[in-house]
Every structure is written in structure tokens, then in C-alpha cells.
């Protein structure tokens, strides 16, 4: 390798010492061999990871805007911002007086409809059928008697025709009283009962809706109602966020997306809460790119104590590669020439060039897969100013920690 023409500031400059021998006229020039100061680090077995990080805001897994279903004057508000609520808790109530009156009216109408149905086959109908039967039997007897008289030329045909029509009408009325009319009346009564029941159910539901209840458990993040004021149905009365689980969505590159799948885990740093990372689990991976050309990945984080708040910033760290038993050296120790990658070792006061093969790289460290062993002293400073076999002086050495 070609000698470097310049040395770094801490290189010991070659000294030329001149000495004069006693009683001699000749001066002897003695050249002192040069040494190059270096720093070394021991190759060490440790875990190395190739990581990529992305930042985004976290948000509650469920965020619900709660609307009042019944407009009215707010009579009481039971929760404030920041308080925890359970599913089914009454958040606020509106004035129920008008709705209660409507409910009572609907209840009375329902009772009346039920009575009407009960009367279809009751005493009233039985009386109607009995009267129709008596009329029919009387008309039949009159018809039969008149027929005999007509056949014996006792009565005129016009009188017989009148009696015959009366008989047919009585017969039809009787048949209707025992068949068609009861069925029709029952059908109408049942329809009326069904309508009354629906109206009553609606009134009862409207009365229940006067109490605005929490649809989920969580923390109240907004209250838009004022006691004594009119509550409309157009805007949310409350906003509730379920923070038992937190979601964070990050947009990753196309190089990373192919290595991620649902169920994978990643470290999520939320430094406003802790310097120790939380564990995030991937619950969704978008198969298509967004408008920015990246891919959305959603992660879920357990938050049972509620320390993580919706809107905090989080940093998601994905591990692309990992070796828990890697031989690692500082990345700057590895040099490269036309023959490949190499490092310099400190061996018996001299620099020794060794060819190496590498694996996982991080910002500061690199995995050595071939060429070194644990404990080898790798030159990490001064390595660009030395050649194989140069004499060196180790001015600082670390164990790779």
C-alpha cells in the first residue's frame, strides 16, 4: 500500500539526533525509528440490530362523539373533562316532563287497543251473531210458509218475491256474522294493537333517550353542554376516548413494508411518559401506498394505567435485522480497498491488516462475520494513517463498551 504523505496532529514526528563522538572529527547521524499513536477497541460479542424509526401522534383506540337523541333543556351534567366513565353511565339528562306525558298517553292508547281486540270475540260479537241467527231463522220460516201458499196460488208472486229477498238477505247477514265479519274485525283490532304498541315503545325509548349514556368506557375529553341550556342534536354533547389501548399509525417506506406483517412487535418510545419503550403490536398493514407513496402501519399499545394520553408523540422503532450473538466493532474501524473490507489490529506493537466480512450495520457499530475473534484489538483511531506492519503506540484502549 502506498505510504501516506501526511500524519495526523498526534503523530510523533521522526527525530534526527546528531551526536559528536569524543575525540573524533566525524559527526554521526542517528535516525530514530518512528511510531504512530493509535487508539484501539476490543472486538466484542453483543446484540446488534438494524433499526428504522418513524414518529407519529398516538390516539385512543376508540374515540366517540356522543350526541343527544332528544332535544331539550339540560337538567344535569354528571361528568367533567378528564373523568373516567364506564359504558352505560348517564352523562347528562334533558327535561323529561313532556316526554313522560306522551308516554302515558301512548300507554292509554295501547290499553284501549287491547280492549278492542278482546271485544272482537266477546259478548258483543256473540249477541250480534245470535240476533243474526234469530233473524235468519224467522226469515227462513216465513219464506217456507209463503212458498207453500204461493205454490197453492194463495199469495201473489210479488209478495213471494219480497219474502224470498228478505230470506236471502237474512241468510247472508247470518253467514257474515259467523265468518267474514269476525275475521275482519279481529284483523283490524290486531292492526290497531300493533300500531299502539309501536307508538308506546317509541315513547318509552324517547323517555330513556332523555338520559344521554356513555356508549363506551373511557375518559371524557370534551363536554359541549351547559346545564340549563338547550341541547340540540346537531353537535356532540360529549367526546369519550378509550385509552385502555392506544393506537399509533406510521407511514413506512416501500423497502420496509414487505418485511412487516400483522402480529409483529416493535418498540414504541413515548418520552413524555417513560424513557423505557412500550411494546407495540402491528394490527393492520395497508396493502396500498398513500398519496405520499408510503404505506400506513397501525400498531396497538396496552395502556391499562392510562399514562399514555391521546395526542402524545411517539417514536416507533422497527427492527429489520437482529443478531443476539454478533461479534461487533466500531463501524469506523472497517476500511475498504479494491480487495474488500479490512481492519487493522494491534499485535505486539505493530499494525496488522486483516481482511473481514461484515453483516448488520448500525449508525456506530458493525457486525464482523468473518476475520476476527472476540477480544481482538481493532484500531479505531489513526487507522487511516498506517500500513500493514507499521510500528504503533496504543495511547488509549477500550473493551468495546
The three three-digit cell numbers of residue 223, written as one number: 363536554
Q: What confidence score (pLDDT) does residue 43 get?
A: 94
Quick one: pLDDT band at residue 121, thresholds 50, 70, 90? low
Q: What confidence score (pLDDT) does residue 142 get?
A: 86
The three three-digit cell numbers of residue 202, written as one number: 317509541
The three three-digit cell numbers of residue 245, written as one number: 389501548
State the average pLDDT over residues 306-313: 88
Backbone angles phi, psi at 156, to 5 degrees: -75, 160
Q: What confidence score (pLDDT) does residue 13 get?
A: 35
The three three-digit cell numbers of residue 105, written as one number: 298517553
Ranges 25-39, 174-188, 342-356: which has the least confidence: 25-39
Q: What is the pLDDT of residues 67-80, one digit of tens each?
A: 999 999 999 999 99
Length of the chain: 401
Whether 89 shows a pLDDT value over 80: the answer reads yes
Q: Alpha carbon of 103 to those of 68, 75, 212, 229: distances in Å?
A: 19, 19, 18, 24
Quick one: pLDDT band at residue 122, thresholds 50, 70, 90? low
Contact 192, 206 (CB under 8 A): no
Quick one: pLDDT band at residue 311, thresholds 50, 70, 90? confident
Whether 9 shows a pLDDT value over 60: the answer reads no
pTM for this one?
A: 0.54
**51-62+240-322, superfamily in CATH?**
Efflux pump adaptor protein, beta barrel domain (2.40.30.170)
Q: What confidence score (pLDDT) does residue 27 get?
A: 43
Pick the CATH number of 37-49+324-398 from 3.30.390.50, 2.40.420.20, 3.90.1150.10, 2.30.30.100: 2.40.420.20
Q: What confidence score (pLDDT) does residue 61 get?
A: 79
Backbone angles phi, psi at 361, to 5 degrees: -120, 145
Average pLDDT over the chain reads 85
Whether 223 shows a pLDDT value over 90: the answer reads yes
Ranges 12-26, 164-178, 233-247: which has the least confidence: 12-26
Q: What confidence score (pLDDT) does residue 5 get?
A: 36
State the average pLDDT over residues 189-197: 86
Ranges 43-52, 111-120, 265-274, 317-326: which has the least confidence: 111-120
State the average pLDDT over residues 44-73: 91
Q: What confidence score (pLDDT) does residue 25 get?
A: 38
Contact 246, 301 (CB under 8 A): yes
Quick one: pLDDT band at residue 125, thresholds 50, 70, 90? low
Whether 28 shows a pLDDT value over 70: the answer reads no
State the average pLDDT over residues 257-270: 93
Q: Alpha carbon of 380 to those of 147, 200, 242, 357: distances in Å?
A: 136, 86, 52, 17
Quick one: pLDDT band at residue 401, thresholds 50, 70, 90? low
Q: What percent of the chain has pLDDT over 90?
A: 55
Nearest-10 Cα torsion for 270, 273, 274, 277: -30
Q: What confidence score (pLDDT) does residue 234 get?
A: 86
Q: What confidence score (pLDDT) does residue 39 get?
A: 95
Whether 3 shows a pLDDT value over 60: the answer reads no
Q: What confidence score (pLDDT) does residue 14 get?
A: 36
Amino acid at each position: 500500500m502506498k505510504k501516506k504523505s501526511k500524519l495526523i496532529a498526534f503523530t510523533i514526528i521522526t527525530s534526527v539526533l546528531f551526536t559528536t563522538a569524543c575525540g573524533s572529527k566525524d559527526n554521526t547521524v542517528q535516525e530514530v525509528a518512528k511510531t504512530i499513536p493509535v487508539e484501539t477497541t476490543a472486538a466484542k460479542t453483543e446484540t446488534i440490530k438494524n433499526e428504522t424509526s418513524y414518529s407519529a401522534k398516538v390516539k385512543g383506540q376508540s374515540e366517540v362523539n356522543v350526541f343527544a337523541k332528544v332535544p331539550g333543556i339540560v337538567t344535569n351534567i354528571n361528568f367533567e373533562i378528564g373523568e373516567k366513565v364506564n359504558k352505560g353511565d348517564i352523562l347528562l339528562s334533558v327535561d323529561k316532563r313532556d316526554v313522560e306525558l306522551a308516554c302515558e298517553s301512548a300507554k292509554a292508547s295501547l290499553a284501549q287497543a287491547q280492549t278492542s281486540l278482546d271485544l272482537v270475540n266477546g259478548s258483543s260479537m256473540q249477541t250480534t251473531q245470535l240476533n243474526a241467527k234469530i233473524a235468519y231463522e224467522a226469515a227462513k220460516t216465513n219464506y217456507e210458509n209463503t212458498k207453500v201458499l204461493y205454490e197453492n196460488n194463495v199469495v201473489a208472486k210479488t209478495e213471494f218475491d219480497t219474502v224470498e229477498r228478505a230470506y236471502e238477505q237474512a241468510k247472508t247477514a247470518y253467514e257474515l256474522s259467523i265468518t267474514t265479519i269476525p275475521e275482519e274485525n279481529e284483523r283490524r283490532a290486531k292492526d290497531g294493537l300493533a300500531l299502539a304498541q309501536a307508538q308506546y315503545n317509541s315513547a318509552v325509548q324517547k323517555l330513556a333517550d332523555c338520559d344521554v349514556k356513555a356508549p363506551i368506557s373511557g375518559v371524557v375529553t370534551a363536554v359541549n353542554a351547559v346545564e340549563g341550556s338547550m341541547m340540540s342534536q346537531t353537535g356532540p354533547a360529549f367526546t369519550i376516548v378509550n385509552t385502555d389501548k392506544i393506537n399509533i399509525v406510521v407511514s413506512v417506506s416501500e423497502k420496509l413494508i414487505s418485511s412487516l406483517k400483522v402480529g409483529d412487535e416493535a418498540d414504541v418510545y413515548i418520552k413524555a411518559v417513560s424513557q423505557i419503550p412500550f411494546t407495540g403490536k402491528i394490527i393492520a398493514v395497508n396493502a396500498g401506498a398513500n398519496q405520499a407513496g408510503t404505506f400506513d402501519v397501525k400498531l396497538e399499545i396496552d395502556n391499562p394505567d392510562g399514562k399514555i394520553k391521546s395526542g402524545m408523540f411517539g417514536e416507533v422503532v422497527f427492527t429489520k435485522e437482529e443478531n443476539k450473538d454478533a461479534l461487533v466493532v466500531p463501524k469506523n474501524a472497517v476500511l475498504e480497498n479494491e480487495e474488500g473490507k479490512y481492519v487493522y489490529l494491534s499485535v505486539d506493537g505493530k499494525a496488522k491488516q486483516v481482511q473481514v466480512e461484515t453483516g448488520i450495520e448500525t449508525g456506530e457499530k458493525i457486525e464482523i462475520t468473518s476475520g476476527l475473534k472476540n477480544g481482538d484489538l481493532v484500531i479505531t483511531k489513526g487507522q487511516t494513517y498506517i500500513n500493514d506492519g507499521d510500528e504503533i503506540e496504543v495511547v488509549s484502549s477500550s473493551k468495546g463498551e
